[in-house]
Amino acid sequence: MIQQNRLIQEFISLVQVDSETRFEQQISEVLKQKFKAAGLTVEEDDSADRSGHGAGNLICTLEAAALDNAAAASVPTLLFTSHMDTVAPGQGIRPQIGTDGIIRSDGTTILGSDDKAGIAAMLEAIKVLKEQGIPHGPLQFIITAGEESGLKGSRAMDPKWIKAAYGYALDSNGSIGDIATAAPGRAEITIIFQGKSAHAGVNPEDGISAIQVASKAVARMKLGRIDSETTANIGSFSGIGPLNVVCDRVKLEAEARSIDQVKLEAQVHSMRQACEAAALEAGTTCDFISEIVYASYMHEDEAPVVALAARAMQNMGLTAKTFHSGGGSDANIFNGMGLPTVNLAVGYKEIHTTQEHIAVSDLVQTAELVLAIVKEAAKGE
């Protein structure tokens, strides 16, 4: 049912459109045209006004088809989501298909399968639904901007756009059949240590080195892998000044993640305590600013959103495998809006590097999976 060559060409055309995060204008216009041409209603929200990105999120709606009135009442609305932006270097991508059936860039850029593989699979599934007259319930396809910049597009989205009962993000690493049923919440942290300047050679004892204070604070923190559900990291440490002056200001930027929201808050609290204790001992102060930018989510294997995907996979001859992800995605945001959402693996590998690649067979199976979920949902709840 999936037309492999058409799907490949769709994917190739999408990755050749420059769309590094914050510069989504061109890809947004291309996608509007493609979804409209496929017969969907396409709307763009006003999130760009808040996110600072080149486009808003696209909300593409396909009305139910070929269902009798009795069946239509029991068929849930589904949402499929992928993001339109990529990481850098993502300009001038030149994709190529090897004799091994693997699609790669020329090695100077990323490929962009994260996440244009998901978008191409959606478009192909929509075409097959229409060509084959396959019965289906109402479908939403939300293509977000700014995912690679910290989920900024979906975070700026008004929940009013969500009409679905279940959501499926096509944006996870792993093999087709893998389902990320849990992902961590994330806190972003900025810490500023105040010191006191003094001449480093004449009277250093009159100064307070913000670098020393910050270093002692970091040394007190438990970082890296905290437990099976929790991590923490210092991403940057900056204190710049002349060599002959005791540094009087240091800025740290950090993050903490956990699937367990209580553990996340506890980790942030322990990092705050380490900073405040080090500052107090040095006779100075620090500013500790933290924000939970998105919440965690977790679904049991028996949850309807998981069970529906698992049945669809079984229909394809696949065995569903659930796992807990270590990274956030738009699925976190949609769960936070009250929409049960899981993240489905699409088969891409070595993303965010110039070695990124995806197998043609995985592209095909991703499109087949979208179709299988839609058809399984059409059987009614």
At 174-189, the pLDDT tens digits run: 999 999 999 999 999 9
- Bridge partners (DSSP) of residue 290 are 189
How would residue 291 be classed by pLDDT, with cut points 50, 70 and 90? very high
pLDDT number for residue 68: 81
pLDDT for 99 equals 97
Percent of the chain topping pLDDT 70: 99
- pLDDT digits 0-9 by tens, 313-369: 999 999 999 999 999 999 999 999 999 999 999 999 999 999 999 999 999 999 999
pLDDT level of residue 71 (50, 70, 90 thresholds): confident
* Order of all β-strands in the sheet with 230-238: 224-227, 230-238, 249-258, 185-194, 286-294
CATH number of 4-183+297-377: 3.40.630.10
Cα distances from 177 to residues 344, 360, 376, in angstroms, run: 7, 16, 15
pLDDT band at 111 (very low <50, low <70, confident <90, very high): very high
Clarify whether 362 is annotated catalytic: no
C-alpha 207/C-alpha 39 separation (Å) is 69
pLDDT of residue 348: 98
Q: What is the pLDDT of residue 1?
A: 86
In terms of Cα–Cα distance, which of 304, 292, 293 is closest to 341?
A: 304
| For residues 273-293, average pLDDT | 98
CB 156 within 8 A of CB 233: no
Which pLDDT belongs to residue 72? 76
- Cβ proximity of 264 and 256 under 8 Å: yes
Q: Is the pLDDT of residue 381 over 80?
A: no
- Catalytic residue from among 115, 147, 356, 368: 147
Spatial distance between the Cα atoms of 271 and 233, rounded to a whole number of angstroms? 10
User: Angle of helix 4-15 relative to helix 113-132, nearest 10 degrees?
Assistant: 140
Catalytic residue among 20, 44, 45, 85: 85
Question: Which residue spans within the chain are E strands per DSSP?
Answer: 41-44, 58-62, 78-83, 96-97, 102-104, 139-144, 166-172, 178-183, 185-194, 224-227, 230-238, 249-258, 286-294, 297-298, 321-324, 341-345, 357-359
Provide DSSP, 252-271: EEEEEEESSHHHHHHHHHHH
What confidence tier does 67 reach under pLDDT thresholds 50, 70, 90?
confident
pLDDT, tens only, 5-42: 999 999 999 999 999 999 999 999 999 999 999 999 99
pLDDT attached to residue 69: 74
Average pLDDT for the chain: 97
How far apart CA 101 and CA 160 sit, in angstroms, is 42
Q: Report whether pLDDT(70) > 80.
A: no
- Complete edge-to-edge strand list for the sheet that includes strand 96-97: 96-97, 102-104, 357-359
pTM of the predicted protein model: 0.93
Q: Which CATH class is domain 185-294?
A: alpha beta
Residue ranges of domains in the chain: 4-183+297-377, 185-294
Mean pLDDT, residues 211-234: 98
- CA nearest neighbour of 170 among 375, 381, 365: 365
Q: Report which of residues 71 and 90 the model is more confident about.
A: 90
Reduced to 3 states, what is the DSSP secondary structure of residue 235? strand
pLDDT of residue 66: 86
Q: Is 4-183+297-377's fold the same as 185-294's? A: no
- The answer to whether residue 178 is catalytic is no
- The structure tokens 């900073």 sit at 275
Model confidence at 218: pLDDT above 80: yes
Q: Write out the two tokens for 103.
A: 């699609």
**What's the whole-number mean pLDDT along residues 110-114?**
98
